[in-house]
Amino acid sequence: MPSPAEDHPGLLIRDGRHFSDAILIVPPLLVETLACFDGKTSDLDLRAALVQLTGDLHAGEIASGMVEALSAAGFLDDENFARMERERRSWFAAEPLRQAAHSGGAYPAEATALGETLARYMDGAAQAQVDGRLTAIAAPHASPEGGVASYRAAYRALRSEDSERTFVILATSHYGQPEQFGLTRKNFVTPLGESPTDVALVDWLASRAPGAVEMEDYCHSFEHTVELELIFLQHVLGPRTRILPILCGSFARSLIEGGKPEDDDRVRSFIDALAELREREGSRLFWILGVDMAHMGARYHDPFQARAGQGAMNQVEARDRARIARINAGDADGFWELVRENRDDLKWCGSSPFYTFLKSAPRARGELLSYEQWNIDQASVVSFAGMAFSEPA
């Protein structure tokens, strides 16, 4: 991303997967040379590019310095990066708990302050009324401050008697492997307390769809999409609420090659396992979808500046609502047809959790409780919704 520091302009680079904690700022003059780090360009080509950019015939020292800095930071595909990756994956596998990764950033780190913040978010919301037996909700995984109305609408659908259920959290995996699902046996800790993971259900899913599952998926260590659902869930129903956290990788193969996601054997085996689990466990389970929708504007590589509720975002809302209508009707195939248009130019990061839920719960019907667009920065917008799903009583 562009450097936010006025006195250090250039391109800021960091590792979203946290294999490396380093942050580098590449000066504007050198940004163009990053294209040379493609695994094909030679050292001589890099030096020639630097000579042309800088006019310095001794650019070899600059080239060596760039290579050393990028490698030391873990930003090159070399042995240093491989070592960092091994160490971080081993660290998470050995951790007894999944500690809060976003407290103090996305939400307050101290329990009292977090409780007061969540109470403010939920204040004034009426209990959502749905027809039939409530079985699931969908809520954003955006920053809570940006999606208050949708979080509030979804979580106000829960009732105190739901606290005895196990909550299956189907959440977006932003960095996970496509066509795979990330599981963990670890309990999740937030400032509000420790929520136990239903290990028996985790093990059952892993045994039924082993090729589809990444067990002790490292993405759980930093991904925010389960964690942000959990703080609302703990606030509404208490910190000891049982969960089954599942990270859903993208269905990239279907978007690129066509067809349905379940044409991939791994996806089909996992959806079948979830459907079987749902039939077996019945009302003992409740489902939460941690999902955002469209991502538009400069941050997301669109050739326009996006403003919520204005200009191009009005058309985006119409297309979002068309997808939501398919979801609410339980029409998984129709929903995916809309997602596949232009290889999902709306960039819905919640499409795989939605599709997985619709295929594993074909009798569920949805209701839109809240729809929002939020300017994540001055030129970029994320959309999301609060939804409730029920089945005939």
pLDDT of residue 53: 83
**pLDDT in 10s for each residue of the chain, 393 residues:** 888 888 999 999 999 999 999 999 999 989 999 999 999 999 889 988 888 888 877 777 888 899 999 999 999 999 999 999 999 999 999 999 999 999 999 999 999 999 999 999 998 766 766 677 899 999 999 999 999 999 999 999 999 889 999 999 999 999 999 999 999 999 999 999 999 999 999 999 999 999 999 999 999 999 999 999 999 999 999 999 999 999 999 999 999 999 999 999 999 999 999 999 999 999 999 999 999 999 999 999 999 999 999 999 999 999 999 999 999 999 999 999 999 999 999 999 999 999 999 999 999 999 999 999 999 999 999 999 999 999 987
Q: Return the CATH architecture of domain 98-391.
A: 3-Layer(aba) Sandwich (3.40)
**Residue 39 is encoded by which pair of tokens?**
């695994």
- How is residue 181 annotated by DSSP? E
The neighbouring-strand residues paired with 372 are 384
Q: Positive or negative CA dihedral for 188, 189, 192, 193? A: positive
C-beta contacts of 340-347 below 8 A and 24+ residues apart: 340/254, 340/255, 340/258, 343/255, 343/256, 344/255, 346/293, 346/294, 346/295, 346/296, 346/316, 346/319, 346/320, 347/294, 347/295, 347/296, 347/300
Residue with tokens 């909550």: 167
Is 194 within 8 Å of 96 (Cβ atoms)? no
DSSP assignment string, 54-105: H--TTTHHHHHHHHHHHHHHT-SSSHHHHHHHHHHHHHHHH-SEE--SSBTT
Helix H or strand E encompassing 232: helix 224-237
| Angle ∠(269,274,280) on CA atoms, nearest 5 | 125
What are the structural domain ranges in the chain?
11-90, 98-391
114: Cα within 13 Å, side-chain hemisphere: 24
Q: Which of 239, 180, 248, 190 has its CA nearest to residue 214?
A: 180
pLDDT of residue 52: 85
Query: Could you give the C-alpha distances from 51 to 11, 36, 63, 65, 332, in angstroms and in order?
Result: 20, 13, 10, 14, 55
Predicted TM-score of the model (pTM):
0.93
Is 29 within 8 Å of 54 (Cβ atoms)? yes
Determine phi and psi for 283, rounding to 5 degrees: -75, -5
Q: Which of 221, 176, 217 has its CA nearest to residue 18?
A: 221
